């Protein structure tokens, strides 16, 4: 367990742990559920020490049944509790698909009942986990009204968005990227703070090409921006942070300024969130576009286990640089 300490750098993983600890201290209705999250501390040790501090009834080790424990969490949420469910890997969320999309997502529409449920979903590749431990399943839920989806890229956003998600009366799927866990660090405020759900953030201002992205891809875009700046091409990096509800105005504002747009995500290309952003830009910003909207994403295959194949599969800095140079030449 990582407690907030002013002036000390914390990792993306520690920021998530801090958010859970602070919200459990702040609100006794908050409790955790998941496989091996108790004495073991979770697959990634995010809840290490939590059961000792809060007890077995607030840090519940569950059977290996995602549908079962998500269903139980939905019931607890409907009774006024605020459960935070951990998927050991986001890939396993498909086992609970019915509970999430048919019950949690639709309950408010059906009879006005809030479902203050958070599902933490460690997602993404770059860790050589293969096709069953590396997926980006956000696109499945992007099409399910009633859910909120968030995907932070920094420790600050990770902590602020998780705290906001826990306090929200709606079901929120919180996509946390495994590749970022121990690689990204930042000094966080010691005082309580949240990041409002539904607000994008411009991580780098630029005038020539807009990149609309989220999660680990934000860092690739920032790296590409540094390289492109040497050639006089200024990339604007828009971090969506929240996938549903999309901050459409932030997207439009950036693209109307630059006239060029790239969508970037690690999920498979077909039917991904980039496709929806592209459609929105075609509808709302057509007169501002000075070139085609370009999509950078993973190919439409499962995530390979082989290291060289996974590296080929994942979007790369060189892909962004090439796309930006092509657009800048229009």
Active-site residues, by number, are 133
With left for phi above 0 and alpha for psi between -120 and 50, is residue 147 left, alpha or beta? beta
Q: What is the dihedral of CA 189, 192, 193, 197, to 10 degrees?
A: 140
Q: What is the dihedral of CA 20, 25, 26, 32, to 10 degrees?
A: 40
With left for phi above 0 and alpha for psi between -120 and 50, is residue 99 left, alpha or beta? alpha
Query: Which of 152, 128, 159, 156 lies closest to 138 in space, CA to CA?
Result: 152
With left for phi above 0 and alpha for psi between -120 and 50, is residue 244 left, alpha or beta? beta
Segment (H or E) for 266: strand 261-268
With left for phi above 0 and alpha for psi between -120 and 50, is residue 144 left, alpha or beta? beta
Contact (CB, 8 A) for 275 and 227:
no
Tell me the C-alpha distance between 96 and 182, whole Å: 28
Helix H, strand E, coil C: the string for 288-319 is HCCCCCEEEEECCCCCCCCHHHHHHHCCCHHH
Tell me the C-alpha distance between 63 and 129, whole Å: 22
Asked if omega into 285 is within 30° of 0 (cis), the reply is no
Query: Which of 129, 127, 124, 54 lies closest to 84 in space, CA to CA?
Result: 54
């Amino acid at each position: 367990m990582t407690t907030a300490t002013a002036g000390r750098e914390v990792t993306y993983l520690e920021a998530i742990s801090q958010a859970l600890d602070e919200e459990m201290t702040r609100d006794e209705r908050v409790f955790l559920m998941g496989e091996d999250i108790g004495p073991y501390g979770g697959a990634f040790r995010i809840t290490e020490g939590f059961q000792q501090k809060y007890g077995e009834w607030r840090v519940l080790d569950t059977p290996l049944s995602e549908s079962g424990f998500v269903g139980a969490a939905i019931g607890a949420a409907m009774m006024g509790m605020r459960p935070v469910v951990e998927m050991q890997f986001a890939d396993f969320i498909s086992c609970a698909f019915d509970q999430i999309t048919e019950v949690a997502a639709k309950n408010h529409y059906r009879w006005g009942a809030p479902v203050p449920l958070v599902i933490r979903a460690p997602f993404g590749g770059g860790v050589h986990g293969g096709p069953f431990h590396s997926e980006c399943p956000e696109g499945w839920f992007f099409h399910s009204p009633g859910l909120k989806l968030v995907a932070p890229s920094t420790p600050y956003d990770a902590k602020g968005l998780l705290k906001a998600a826990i306090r929200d009366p709606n079901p929120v799927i919180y996509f946390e990227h495994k590749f970022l866990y121990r690689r990204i660090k930042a000094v966080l405020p010691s005082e309580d703070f949240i990041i409002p759900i539904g607000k994008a953030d411009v991580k780098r201002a630029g005038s020539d090409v807009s990149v609309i992205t989220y999660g680990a891809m934000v860092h690739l875009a920032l790296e590409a921006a540094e390289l492109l700046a040497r050639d006089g091409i200024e990339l604007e990096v828009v971090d969506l942070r929240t996938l549903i509800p999309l901050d459409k105005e932030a997207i439009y504002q950036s693209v109307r300024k630059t006239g060029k747009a790239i969508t970037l995500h690690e999920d498979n290309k077909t039917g991904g969130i980039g496709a929806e952003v592209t459609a929105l830009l075609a509808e709302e910003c057509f007169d501002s576009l000075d070139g085609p909207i370009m999509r950078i994403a993973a190919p439409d295959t499962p995530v390979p286990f082989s290291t060289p194949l996974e590296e080929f599969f994942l979007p790369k800095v060189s892909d962004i640089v090439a796309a930006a140079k092509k657009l800048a030449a229009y």
